[in-house]
Amino acid sequence: MREITMGDAIQEGIVEEMRRDERVYTLGYAVGPHAGSITRPLASIYDEFGPERVRETGIIEPLVAGSSVGAALAGLRPIADFSTVDFMFPALNEILGFAGMWHYEHGGADDMRIPVVFRGAIRTYGGAGAEHSRAPIALFWHAPGLKLVIPTTPYDAKGLIKTAIRDDNPVIFLEPARLYQVKGPVPEEEYLISFGQANIRREGKDVTIVAVGYMVTFSLQAAGDLEKEGIATEVIDPRTLEPLDIDTILGSAKKTGRLVIVDEDHIRCGVGAEIAFQVQEQLFKSLKAPVKRVGNLNRPHPVNQVLINDVMPTKEKIIAAVKETLAAV
């Protein structure tokens, strides 16, 4: 099977859906012929689809989100490219309040469906400073009415973006920027990946790691090092948080009796807190140790790499958390 990068896999999925359905288009401040968006490559599709379906907007985030909601209500299927997830913050009213709520607020009417994809890259390890390095995963997960997708492989990225575009609900599609250039096998024939199906990226019997986004990479590296010490670690990639495949997580945690959750968002009120509580709520008597969380230490993101490693998850921190769960009695 051919191997392509995750960035190319996402673009390929978008192009296929634009060819399949003329209602699909993409917009953003940097998606045109001279695009500088971090979610590139997109500029190469401008020649095929033109300015009507690859629309540059300028740096006006509320317009990008608000016009996408309106277009979706009118029957189109927009892909709103915010380049980096931080740029969604100026448009939160349109994303959380309008896209997420209106279908419900209008009684679930079919003509009030909002099929829009909001794309944004997570850049927590890029040294871009506090305003451009956030990972507000829990923020979007907390908001009702939104689906939340975070791919970690080229195969998953293409299958999930195609599913997101076809979904009749608003989808937050977050892309780990560090994985854009990572290659992996992607079939040329069409395929989709259903939401709500976690991927067991590595099987093990001693401890379960649930990792989100780029943290899957660190967790797999940690599992490899732990194997040398005789510790068999199971690594689960949820792929989507809304819907969440809690059954796969529960099955693994019940088998191992130990759970570590790794997330690049803030620890406080974060993804780890929610998953940990669901697990202990249903599996309290099966757990052999308290659930451990590894994440951002509730601090703004620094620029310096040494400070980033101090604040953010690392392979070494994951290994330490695993060993703490194994040492607990």
DSSP string over 104-149: HHTTT-GGG----EEEEEE-TTS---TTT----HHHHHHSTT-EEE
Amino acid 245 reads: D
Q: How high is the pLDDT of residue 31?
A: 83
pLDDT 10s digits, 250-267: 999 999 999 999 999 999
CA 263 to chain centre: 11
Q: Which of 159, 185, 211 is the last residue of a domain?
A: 185
**213 with 144, same domain?**
no
pTM of the model: 0.95
* End-to-end Cα separation, the chain, in angstroms: 46
**181 with 299, same domain?**
no
Element (H, E) at 155: helix 154-166
Confidence band of 224 (pLDDT split at 50, 70, 90): very high
**How many alpha carbons lie under 13 Å from residue 79 in its C-beta half-sphere?**
32
Closest CA to 329 of 250, 258, 251: 258
Confidence band of 32 (pLDDT split at 50, 70, 90): confident
**60 with 138, same domain?**
yes
3 state DSSP class of 227? helix
For range 195-220, the mean pLDDT: 98
DSSP letter for each residue of 254-284: HHHS-EEEEEEEESTTSHHHHHHHHHHHHHG
Q: Is residue 37 part of a domain?
A: yes
Catalytic one of 34, 106, 132, 266: 132
| Domain of residue 42, CATH code | 3.40.50.970
**268 with 304, same domain?**
yes
**118 with 171, same domain?**
yes
**226 with 137, same domain?**
no
Q: How high is the pLDDT of residue 34?
A: 65
Q: Is residue 192 part of a domain?
A: no
| Domain of residue 232, CATH code | 3.40.50.920
Q: Which of 185, 218, 250 is the last residue of a domain?
A: 185
Q: Which of 141, 157, 185 is the last residue of a domain?
A: 185
**119 with 239, same domain?**
no
**146 with 254, same domain?**
no
Q: Is 314 left (phi over 0), alpha (psi -120 to 50) or beta?
A: beta
**138 with 287, same domain?**
no
Distance CA 85, CA 89 (A): 8
Amino acid 202 reads: R
Q: Is residue 193 part of a domain?
A: no
Q: Is residue 163 part of a domain?
A: yes
132 is catalytic: yes
Q: Is residue 25 part of a domain?
A: yes
Distance CA 8, CA 155 (A): 11
Domain count, the chain: 2
Distance CA 152, CA 140 (A): 18
Element (H, E) at 201: strand 199-202
Confidence band of 329 (pLDDT split at 50, 70, 90): low
* Residue 316 domain boundaries: 199-327
**250 with 140, same domain?**
no
DSSP 8-state code for residue 54: E
Question: pLDDT at residue 37 above 70?
Answer: no
For range 179-199, the mean pLDDT: 97
**143 with 266, same domain?**
no
Distance CA 38, CA 140 (A): 20
**169 with 30, same domain?**
yes
Q: Is residue 191 part of a domain?
A: no
Q: Is residue 194 part of a domain?
A: no
Q: Is residue 52 part of a domain?
A: yes
DSSP letter for each residue of 171-189: EEEEEEGGGTT-EEE--SS
